[in-house]
Structure 1
Amino acid sequence: MSTPADRPGHGSPAARALDALRTVPPSAGAAVMATGILSMGLRLTGHGVLSAIALTVATVLWLVLALAFALQLACDRARWQASAANPPALTAVAATCVLGTRYSLAGRQPLALVLLAVAAAAWPWLLVSVLRHWKRPVPGVAFLVCVATQGLAVLGGTLALAGRGDWLARAALAAGLLGLVLYVEALARFEFRQVFTGQGDQWVAAGALAISALAASKLVASPLWSGGAHQALRDAAFVLLALDFAWYAVLAVAEFVRPRPGYDLRRWSTVFPLGMTAVAALSTGQVAHVRWLHGVGSVLLWIAVAAWLLTAVGWGSRAVRRVRATA
């Protein structure tokens, strides 16, 4: 006769896996963002095989997280709604946009359009929910209001360049401008001591500027803009990239002055800005024909790859310890 512990749902491996999925935090979406942006950077620097591997990993992670969020919605709606009121929930939008952009670059336009539709459908509801519950001061993760919005701009601009309609370029411009407004709002609320005390998400302050620069570079590449508009977009891309570099330097120095070793899930929110800064430099250098930016972006990309590997090892080690603890 079987005991409750032997039955599905009562301690079996399948039940434990389902329980683990139900408790996945929204901030885990940053792992998809980090992996997806590295795939884009590796593609831009000619490392096709590594880029494809990273894309596969990002896709698998996205599917796992989508399943986790669906289970949470079905099994614990109150908890899901509470999570949706916090900025980490916006990683779902940003991760979907990053993945969609990478698939668009690979020529998978129908899939990229589907991912854009998914992100665009989730974005207004999550954004309003987060903004309604904002308080002062806010940690670095609050800059995700900008990142998610600029993610739509990047994906829309990429699809416009792939010939999917000029309206996408115009929508990307609108999203990009809104993203900058949201960045200023987040900056006004940001607790600046997080630069020295944050456990990883303080880097999103730089990552938000990096993705804004990337969005601007996509618009610069569009034939829709010419003359003064084109020059303004080009200047904006350079200014945003310069501000991103400044934040990058400040945060790097802070990490050196006050080291924070050890794994924390929020470290995926460090890897993403590192990779996004590299990709923004590579993309801006490409569309603006500034060759030295390619060299800078390439160096920054490998720094991001190293950070990804260290964070992945920490994540894996913690997962192994949890499995052993529950075995």
Structure 2
Amino acid sequence: MRSSRLQQLTQSLPPVYFSFIMATGIVSIGAHLAGLETISIPLFWLNKVVYVCLLILLAGRLLFFFPALLAELTSHDKGPVFFTIVAGSAVLGVQYKLLEQNNDRALLLLVFAVAVWLLVVYTFFVGTIVASEKPTLEKGLNGTWLLLVVSIQSLAVLGTLLTPHLPYSATIGLFSTVCAFLVGFLFYLIFVTLILYRLLFMPEKAENFTPPYWIDMGAVAITTLAGATLTETIQTTVGTGLADVLPFIKGISILAWSTATWWIPLIILLEIWRHGVKNVPLTYSPPYWSLVFPLGMYMVCTWRLSEALRMPFLRPISHACLYVALIAWGLTFLGLGAQIARSFSQQQQPD
């Protein structure tokens, strides 16, 4: 029975579970910045354990169920979710860097994340471009497409933090992360335009407005974090030749933070419409971690932006968002626990 259950879990494992790593990691980092180590450290250890388990299951699926995995990776609907593997690995790498000062493991996770990103991004784009049958924009596009942006910017953040420990000059390292930062922002502009077009000019069912739409905000929040991290690093690194692009990076960072702030009330109102007006039940599902991650990311990016631009008046916003993110993480974790308990109870019932 247990062997059959494990095989079923491996065969059907959706990569969206790596959004648990993203959400838990960013909330842990936010708690660390606020000095709440009693919260930050346990979440870090939880992330380590869950990440290893997910990697083992993913490796099993890759080895034994590769055709089904490839079909998902090259589909418009499920393919973008694979970028959570990249973002989750990079966020865990940032945890190793900030919480444990373990540069070697952080660097190992960066290398792994870059390799997975290259594999996923080109397999996904080639597969969807050459597909003979394609969905309409209404059916094929949603907030998960912005996980591409999240994955790129997560690499930019971790790469920037590890610049002094990379096996080449700081100039090359920072130039690479600046390029990643700019490419990520470009993809955001492209995809968010299509998403807004879909939302504004095509019918939207309440059932389809799922938690991943919070990534509309989370993608620009992590862009802000990448820009703030680059700003601080370039300012303190001598002789990189990148000082001239600092005003541009700062401008994009403020634009990204403003955009993320604009999204929050709109998404909250649409959530009220979904659950309060259309009575869609509020039940746990793995995509809800895609809601927790943007909340935690908004807290962290606001904190780092206030430091990078010397704007302390932003700090209270960050503190308030931390508690919102902690509550959201706790409620989602309780939902996960309840789902596991129900699943275990059903297995114990006799046929």
Query: Could you state the TM-score of these two structures normalised by the residue count of structure 1?
Result: 0.91
Out of 322, 329, 333, the residue aligned to residue 301 of structure 1 is: 322
Question: Does 2:93 align with 1:104?
Answer: no
Q: What one-letter code is carried by the residue in structure 2 that aligns with 1:264?
A: S
From 150, 157, 170, the counterpart of 1:154: 157
2:302 pairs, out of 262, 281, 293, with 281
Query: Shift in Å at residue 264 of structure 1?
Result: 2.0
Q: 1:229: how far off? A: 2.0
Identical pairs, percent? 25
Contact 2:166-2:173 within 8 A present in 1 as well: no
Q: Please report how far the alpha carbon of residue 37 of structure 1 lies from its aligned counterpart in structure 2 after TM superposition.
A: 0.4
Amino acid at match of 1:246: W
Task: Flag the 1:298–1:116 CA change in 2: closer, same or farther, 3 A.
Answer: same
- The answer to whether the aligner puts 1:266 opposite 2:255 as a matched pair is no
Please tell me whether the aligned partners of residues 209 and 241 of structure 1 are also in contact (alpha carbons under 8 angstroms): yes
Query: Residues 208 and 80 of structure 1: is their aligned pair in 2 closer, same or farther, counting only changes over 3 Å?
Result: same
Q: Residues 289-311 of structure 1: CA distance to partner in whole angstroms, max 9, x if unpaired? A: 11121110111111111111111
- Which residue among 129, 142, 146 is the counterpart of 2:145? 142
Partner of 1:46, secondary structure, is coil
Partner of residue 66 from structure 1, selected from 47, 55, 63: 55
Per the alignment, residue 114 of structure 2 pairs with 120
1:4 corresponds to: none
The equivalent of 2:258 in structure 1 is 242
Confirm or deny: 8 A CA contact 2:28 2:39 kept in the other structure.
yes
Q: 2:214 aligns with which of 203, 210, 217?
A: 203
CA RMSD of aligned residues (A): 2.0
Aligned equivalent of 1:322, options 318, 343, 346? 343
User: What is the Cα deviation at residue 202 of structure 1?
Assistant: 0.5
Moved more, 263-272 or 131-140: 131-140
In 2: Cα distance, 1:89 partner to 1:122 partner = 9
Name the CA distance, whole Å, in 2 between partners of 1:195 and 1:148. Answer: 28
Give the Cα separation in 1 of the matches to 2:98 and 2:53.
Answer: 23
Deviates more, 1:134-143 or 1:54-63: 134-143
Q: 1:181 aligns with which of 183, 186, 190?
A: 186
TM-score by length of 2: 0.85
Alpha-carbon separation, structure 2, partners of 1:116 and 1:230 = 24
- Any conservation in 2 of the 1:140–1:194 contact (CA below 8 Å)? no
How far off its partner does 1:198 sit? 1.6
Rounded to whole Å, the distance in 1 between the matches of 2:175 and 2:204 is 36
2-side partners of 1:33 and 1:269: how far apart?
A: 8
CA contact (8 A) 1:26 1:83 kept: no
Q: Deviations over 1:60-106 (max 9, x none)?
A: 11111101110101111111212322111110001001111111113
CA distance in structure 2 between the partners assigned to 1:69 and 1:84 by the alignment: 13
- The answer to whether the 8 Å contact 1:195/1:254 transfers is no
Give 1:188 deviation, angstroms: 3.2
Counterpart position of 1:94: 87
Q: Work out the CA distance in 2 between the residues paired with 1:198 and 1:95.
A: 23
Aligned length in residues: 316
Query: Is the contact made by 1:200 and 1:264 (CA closer than 8 Å) also made in structure 2?
Result: no
* Amino acid across the alignment from 1:145: L
Give the C-alpha shift of residue 287 in structure 1: 1.6
SS of the equivalent of 1:235 reads helix
Displacement, 1:227? 5.0
Offset of residue 235 of structure 1: 2.0
Distance 1:72 1:226, change over 3 A: closer
Structure 2: gaps spanning 5 or more residues? 130-134
Q: CA 1:152–1:195 in 2, change beyond 3 Å: closer, same or farther?
A: farther
CA distance in 2, matches of 1:59, 1:240: 30
Deviations 1:106-165 (A, max 9, x none): 311111100000000110120122233275240111111111111111111111266875
Q: Compare 219-228 and 122-131 and name the one that shifted more.
A: 219-228
- Residues in 1 aligned to 2:123 and 2:16: alpha-carbon distance in whole angstroms: 16
Q: Secondary structure of the residue that 2:162 maps to in structure 1?
A: helix
- 229-238 or 85-94, larger mean C-alpha shift: 229-238
Aligned mates of 1:288, 1:33 — CA distance in 2: 26
Which blocks of at least 5 consecutive residues in structure 1 are unaligned?
1-10
Greater shift after overlay, 309-318 or 153-162? 153-162
CA deviation profile, 1:256-287 (whole Å, cap 9, x unmatched):
23325221221111111111111110111112
SS of the equivalent of 1:258 reads: helix
**Which aligned pairs between 1:22-101 and structure 2 lie closer than 5 A?**
22-85=11-74, 86-101=79-94
CA contact (8 A) 1:195 1:202 kept: no
